[in-house]
Amino acid sequence: MEKKMIISGKIEETRNQIKEWKRQGLSVGLVPTMGYLHEGHRSLMEAARRENDKVAVSIFVNPIQFGPGEDFASYPRDLDKDAALCESIGVDLVFHPEASEMYDEGFCTYVDMDGLTKELCGRSRPTHFRGVQTVVSKLFHIIPADRAYFGQKDAQQLAVVRRMVRDMSMDIEIVGCPIIREQDGLAKSSRNTYLNDEERQAALVLSRSLAEGRKLVEAGERDTAAIKKCIAEVIGQEKLARIDYVEIVDFSDITPIDSLQDAKEGEALCAIAVYIGKTRLIDNFIFHVS
């Protein structure tokens, strides 16, 4: 008999289903998303499918991680298409709550962090990570999975979630998955749909600038100021692009470093955020220091 994918908007129903799978001794992988799924999400779901008995995907455009004036209202949504993709990959459960189910009246408890969230995206989006940590923490309580899958494209988010899990002694393994790109190099993102044709072309400057930075690193450059300058210069040549930040930080704690050699756990994150017209895009690479 063909198994049917469960779609639930209710916390209790979802939790009971996960409990039942756990009672049967089955492992569960969780892929948290905001929907409008693309190939990047597909790679997370496929990894979860390979590594777990059951796969749960959450689809929730989380209002509290958007700041005033950001794109919460216009964020793209298409549940039917998302559900069809999940089903084709063999997802077992889609959790798709209303905002009122996640944040009922009087909601006032947040998960926050002192370090890691202040640099990079935290500078222009000061309340963003508090919203991410709070919803991810709630999702981990509703769906107490064995593993949760996050993309490296949101590298700071990945570092923040890893730190939260460590600090709060949460019993879940965080699996980071590589960035998935369009054929021409643009990192996959639900926000790419905001770009018109001219902007879509201009957006290639993100991956192109990082490729130039990486070349410099591969040629032996370790001084982060020199690498950032090279990346910023490439971005500066694109008239539709405006830099929010070009930064190189220690991936373990998201603190700026002067030399790639300073990365304490051997991973330096080179991350950029660039406005193409009104759309803010991010991209990065991680350099493993030997």
Q: Which of 92, 154, 247, 250 binds ligand PAF (CB under 6 A)?
A: 154
Only segment of 32-40, 46-54, 75-83, 176-184 that touches ligand PAF (CB under 6 A) = 32-40
264 sits in the region (left: phi over 0; alpha: psi -120 to 50; else beta) called: alpha
Only segment of 27-35, 163-171, 200-208, 248-256 that touches ligand PAF (CB under 6 A) = 27-35
Q: List binders of ligand PAF among 197-256 (CB under 6 A).
A: none
Determine the longest span between alpha carbons in the chain, in angstroms. 60
Q: Which of 18, 28, 34, 91 binds ligand PAF (CB under 6 A)?
A: 34
Q: List binders of ligand PAF among 50-89 (CB under 6 A).
A: 62, 65
Among residues 154 and 283, whose Cβ is nearest to ligand PAF? Answer: 154
Is 41 an annotated catalytic residue?
A: yes
- HSE-CB at 79 with a 13 A cutoff on CA atoms is 12
In the three-class reduction of DSSP (H, G, I as helix; E, B as strand; rest coil), residue 96 is classed as: coil
Only segment of 88-96, 130-138, 221-229, 239-247 that touches ligand PAF (CB under 6 A) = 130-138
Q: Does 32 bind ligand PAF (CB under 6 A)?
A: yes
How far, in Å, CA of 79 to CA of 81, rounded?
Answer: 6
Q: Does 97 bind ligand PAF (CB under 6 A)?
A: no
User: What interhelical angle do 155-167 and 128-142 show, nearest 10?
Assistant: 60
Catalytic member of 38, 41, 128, 141: 41
Q: Which of 86, 89, 121, 136 binds ligand PAF (CB under 6 A)?
A: 136
Nearest approach in angstroms of CB 136 to ligand PAF is 6
DSSP string over 34-74: -SS--HHHHHHHHHHHHH-SEEEEEE---GGGSPTTSSTTT
Q: Which of 14, 17, 21, 33 binds ligand PAF (CB under 6 A)?
A: 33
Q: If we measure between CA atoms, which residue out of 67, 37, 48 comes closest to residue 132?
A: 67
Strand ranges of the sheet holding 147-151, from the earlier edge strand across to the other edge: 6-8, 93-95, 54-59, 28-33, 147-151, 173-177
Which residues of this chain interact with ligand PAF, rule CB under 6 A? Answer: 32-34, 62, 65, 132, 135-136, 154, 157
Tell me which residues are annotated as active site: 41
